[in-house]
């Protein structure tokens, strides 16, 4: 039930965000459903981790609220007796988190990035209109075509100007054709034209070289300028992150492994946590647990950023948060099982004396 509710929330948020992008013209309508699916898959690891934590927390909180925990403890059992039971419940979720975080999430992000890039490339190609100058590669490449036949890829007369640093290349072809390679990247195939290279020097002089050709191909760079290295790292497979091991790769790797470790330790933290402040309202109790999970998840993001900036070691970043959760869990177990028990014994002794 918890997983279904969280999954519904994630799908709804992805639907609203994707439909907003489609309505504003940033996304093609036919990509809405695939992107919603890929966005949901990339969030499964976080959903499963939160499900493991909340499920155990809510069950134990209900037992404490209904005094079932009192019967359990009065029969000679301890809070630590819940550990084997929770482990049997958690280990399938831990495996699911491992598969989704290390394999499914980067695959889904990579597929979504490819769809967005392909959509943007196709949209950029549609901007090539007859009789107008179209800019590509951030304005470094300017293309002019004489005509466009919608039923074919013939472009007619083609003029291309490419600026790199202080050098300029001008290519003209009497006939042009738009073709796609095996990777679905667009190329312009020119016939019977000329290429003029203008090379500038520091002493304000230039060298001009002109050549003629019968066949000439040039790639149209329609890669989105907003595609940053960070986004590519998030879409990289875990195996490639292990092989490359740059600072950004290690940061992303720490976040993926850290999500699995959260799913491992958080259910056990909920054992003593559910026994604290049981007189509070149910919603307030659950809201506090959700805030705690959000805090831990944000700490994972902070650790990822520190590792990416080379301000923290990978191994320290991997284990500092899980060890902190383990220490908090042990402290809460100690407080609940020993300190509170000794305090209650002292109070009963004083009551008997009086």
Q: Do residue 110 and residue 184 come from a single domain?
A: no
Q: Which domain holds residue 291?
A: 2-121+228-353
What residue spans of the chain are helical by DSSP H? 2-23, 32-42, 44-65, 68-74, 82-99, 105-126, 229-234, 238-244, 247-274, 282-308, 314-334, 340-353
Task: Please determine, for residue 346, whether its predicted confidence score (pLDDT) is greater than 60.
Answer: no
Report DSSP state, residue 132: S
Structure confidence at residue 6 (pLDDT):
84
242 and 256 share one domain = yes
Tell which of 162, 197, 219 closes a domain: 219
Residue 35 predicted with pLDDT over 60: yes
Where among 162, 185, 219 does a domain terminate? 219
Strands 158-164 and 141-145: antiparallel
Q: Are residues 249 and 109 in the same domain?
A: yes
Owner of token pair 């879409």: 235
Residues 6+ apart with CB under 8 A from 110: 235, 236, 237
Find residue 176's DSSP bridge partners.
190
**Residue 115 and residue 15 share a domain:** yes
Q: What is the pLDDT of residue 297?
A: 92
Give the global pTM: 0.70
Q: How far is CA 2 from CA 42, 49, 57, 90, in A?
A: 18, 11, 11, 14
d(CA 318, CA 81): 29
My answer on whether 265 and 324 are in the same domain is yes
73 and 112 assigned to the same domain: yes
Residue 69 to residues 59, 75, 293: CA-CA distances in angstroms? 11, 10, 24
pLDDT given at position 115: 81
Six token digits for residue 280: 């509070």
Which residue, of 219, 248, 274, is where some domain finishes? 219
Distance CA 240, CA 248 (A): 12
Q: How far is CA 329 from CA 188, 235, 241, in A?
A: 63, 34, 32
In the predicted structure, residue 208 carries a pLDDT above the cut 80: yes
pLDDT, tens only, 67-89: 777 777 777 777 788 889 899 99
Residue 44: predicted pLDDT = 93
Residues 257, 291, single domain; the answer is yes
What is the pLDDT, as a whole number, of residue 228?
40
Whether the pLDDT of residue 254 is over 90: the answer is yes
Q: What is the rounded distance in angstroms from the CA atom of residue 4 to the CA atom of residue 1?
A: 5
CB 321 within 8 A of CB 306: no
Per-residue model confidence as pLDDT tens digits over 273-291: 887 765 566 677 788 889 9
Tokens of 273: 């946590």
Top-confidence residue, 351 or 288: 288
Q: In total, how many domains does the chain have?
A: 2
CA separation for the pair 297, 291 (Å, rounded):
10
Residues 334 and 193 in one domain: no
Question: What CA–CA distances, in Å, run from 67 to 70, 189, 331?
Answer: 5, 79, 23
Residues 7, 107 within the same domain: yes
Sheet arrangement for strand 133-136: 133-136, 141-145, 158-164, 167-180, 186-200, 206-219
Return the pLDDT at 150.
54
Q: Tens of pLDDT along 87-115?
A: 999 999 999 999 999 999 999 998 888 88
Lowest mean pLDDT among 38-42, 186-190, 250-254: 186-190
What value does the mean pLDDT of the chain take? 80
pLDDT at 123 (0 to 100): 60
Spatial CB neighbours of 289, under 8 Å, sequence gap ≥ 6: 53, 54, 57, 270, 273
Does 224 or 282 have the greater pLDDT score?
Answer: 282
Mean per-residue pLDDT, 9-16: 85
Torsion (CA) 331, 337, 343, 346 in degrees, nearest 10: -140
145 vs 100, which has greater pLDDT?
100
For the record, the structure tokens of 179 come out as 């073709």
Of 131-140, 184-193, 253-262, give the range with the top mean pLDDT: 253-262
* 163 has pLDDT over 70: yes
């Amino acid at each position: 039930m918890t997983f279904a509710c969280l999954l519904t929330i994630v799908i709804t948020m992805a639907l609203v965000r994707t439909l907003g992008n489609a309505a504003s013209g940033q996304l093609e309508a036919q990509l809405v459903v695939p992107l919603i699916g890929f966005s949901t898959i990339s969030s499964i690891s976080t959903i499963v981790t939160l499900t493991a934590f909340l499920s155990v927390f809510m069950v134990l909180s209900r037992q404490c609220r209904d005094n079932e925990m009192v019967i359990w403890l009065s029969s000679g059992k301890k809070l630590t007796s819940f550990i084997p039971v929770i482990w049997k419940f958690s280990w399938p979720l831990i495996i699911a988190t491992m598969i989704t975080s290390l394999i499914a999430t980067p695959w889904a992000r990579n597929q979504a990035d490819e769809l967005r890039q392909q959509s943007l490339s196709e949209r950029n190609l549609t901007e090539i209109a007859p009789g107008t100058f179209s800019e590509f590669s951030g304005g470094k490449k300017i293309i002019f075509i004489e005509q466009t036949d919608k039923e074919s890829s013939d472009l007619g007369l083609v003029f291309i100007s490419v600026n790199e640093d202080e050098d300029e290349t001008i290519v003209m072809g009497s006939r042009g054709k738009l073709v796609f390679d095996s990777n679905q990247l667009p190329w312009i195939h020119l016939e019977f034209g000329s290429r003029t290279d203008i090379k500038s020097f520091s002493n304000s002089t230039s060298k001009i070289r002109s050549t003629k050709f019968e066949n000439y191909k040039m790639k149209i760079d329609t890669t989105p300028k907003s595609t940053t290295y960070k986004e590519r790292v998030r879409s990289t497979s875990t195996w490639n992150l292990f092989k490359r091991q740059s600072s950004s790769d290690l940061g992303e790797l720490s976040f993926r492994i850290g999500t699995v470790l959260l799913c491992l330790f958080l259910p056990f933290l909920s054992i003593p946590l559910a026994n604290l402040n049981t007189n509070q309202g149910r919603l307030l109790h659950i809201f506090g647990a959700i805030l705690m999970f959000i805090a831990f998840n944000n700490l994972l993001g902070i650790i990822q950023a520190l590792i990416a900036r080379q301000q923290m070691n990978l191994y320290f970043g991997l284990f500092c948060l899980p060890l902190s959760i383990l220490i908090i869990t042990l402290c809460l177990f100690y407080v609940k099982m020993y300190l509170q028990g000794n305090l209650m014994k002292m109070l009963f002794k004083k009551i008997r004396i009086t």
